[in-house]
Amino acid sequence: MNKQIAIFASGCFWGTEYFFDKQDGVMFTDVGYIGGNIENPTYKQVCSGNTGHAEAILVSFDSNIVSYEKLCKLFFETHNTEQENRQGPDIGTQYRSEIFYLNSQQKEVAQSLILTLKNKGFIIKTKISKASKFWEAENYHQDYYKNNGGSPYCHTYEKKF
């Protein structure tokens, strides 16, 4: 096993987690907050739009089973990359599309995939940023759709690659 970490923000973290949990090679996911300016933010604080955090997921994966590139492709194929600071009905900077890279290889993969999508005619509002501290969200947000049923209301799958 070769455990690695990836961090993605693509709107409501419940919907993002829903798709990544189904991917072979993903060992677990945590939903939380990243990219802001206060320590240990709460959901209420992040929703105010004043902390600078994005709702995000931390993906722990076995790179012997699934590559970081494949996870990035799943990220791009499960949300609307043309929307800035929103996904569907969820509006605000906390719902932005952003990849938080942990090393130069992850950064290069993300940049390459964005270029590929732009060359295919897609509009990409996704940002690429160096990962900062990831703060785990409250327990009731973890595995939301697994625990409560239903399916994402602002995330759908669209083949792009």
Angstrom CA distances, 123 to 12, 40, 114, 154, stand at 20, 33, 9, 18
**Domains along the chain with CATH numbers:** 3-147 (3.30.1060.10)
pLDDT at residue 36 in the model:
96
pLDDT at residue 45 in the model:
97
**133 has a pLDDT exceeding 90:** yes
- DSSP classification of residue 45: H
pTM (predicted TM-score): 0.96
d(CA 115, CA 72): 13
Nearest CA-CA partner of 43 in 34, 32, 52: 32
Q: Is 12 a catalytic residue?
A: yes
pLDDT-based confidence at residue 152 (cuts at 50, 70, 90): confident
**151 has a pLDDT exceeding 90:** no
- DSSP classification of residue 86: E
pLDDT at residue 136 in the model:
97
Angstrom CA distances, 129 to 2, 35, 143, 157, stand at 24, 9, 25, 24
The whole-angstrom distance between residue 78's C-alpha and the CA centroid of its chain comes to: 10
Average pLDDT over residues 82-107: 96
């829903």: which residue's tokens? 18
Q: Which of 12, 47, 72, 154 is catalytic?
A: 12
Mean pLDDT lowest among 76-80, 123-127, 154-158: 154-158
